[in-house]
Amino acid sequence: MAGTVLITGAGIGIGRAAARAFAAARYRVIVTDVLDVEGESVAAAIRAGGGDAEFHHLDVRSTEQAEAVLRAVEIKFGPLNCIVANAGIAHKVPLSQMSDDAWDHTFEIDLKGMLRVIRPALAGMRARGSGAIVCTSSIMGVAYGWNEHVHYSAAKSGVVGLIRGLAVELASAGIRVNGVAPGYIRTAQLLSEQHSLGAAGAEAASAFIPMGRIGEPEEIADVIVFLASPAARYMTGQTVVVDGGLLVGRY
């Protein structure tokens, strides 16, 4: 057993792919999500394949839920080896309609939700002298603005700052903190006609991606596993862009 990893937003998309990738790397996987059916399905599939996984309902907007889940997992399995803070939303809201509530809703999930799951795990990681944290940002947080998604871009930029700050503060405790910034990835979010590019727009994006296609969730998951692994043992405070060459290819 390589260790225990807790993944938020693991019922679908990149989180689901990460859960499968960690299971393949022989981690015990704690699948968390607000999507109970999807989350339990991911955990069940891992167990059916001979892996070790369990599902916990977790709304990262709730400090109480986050602390309760972390406490239950640590009582059962000991301190976590890794956290993948991945849960996020991206709702299209024109600035003229941007209420405080709409802004706060995105930040509560996409940024503060990460702190809520990381914070209660740190005592155990410090006691053991090691740990890895991987946070999901976005190319919209490291390089691009996104029309009618200013709250999302701002929150995902905040994730990069969170990664840097935590990395510096936790390095002496043996805890590494890194992030991944996906480009256009084939997820339900990207394929949403209401909130993102939609299916046709996603395929059209291939024309300006140097590698000629949008990415797959598994291609982000493999980088997440790498960042959590001993292969990245001298990396901390970094946000790795995984975008098929999109940023360097836009002239």
Mind telling me the catalytic residues? 152
HSE (side-chain half, CA atoms, 13 Å) at 155: 26
The stretches of 85-197 forming alpha helices (DSSP H) are: 100-110, 112-118, 122-128, 139-142, 150-170
For 41, counting Cβ atoms within 10 Å of its Cβ (0-12 exposed, 13-18 middle, 19+ buried), the class is middle
Output DSSP code: residue 130: -
Quickly tell me which residue has 């991945």 as its tokens. 86
Distance from C-alpha of 27 to C-alpha of 1, rounded to nearest angstrom: 6
* 3-class state of residue 152 by DSSP: helix
Q: Is the dihedral of CA 8, 141, 211, 202 positive or negative?
A: positive
Output DSSP code: residue 42: H
For 200, counting Cβ atoms within 10 Å of its Cβ (0-12 exposed, 13-18 middle, 19+ buried), the class is exposed
Quickly tell me which residue has 């996987």 as its tokens. 29
Q: Which two tokens stand for residue 242?
A: 């995984």
Question: Taking CA 205 as the corner, what is the angle to CA 202 and CA 211, rounded to the nearest 5 degrees?
Answer: 120
Q: Look up residue 29 and give its amino acid.
A: V
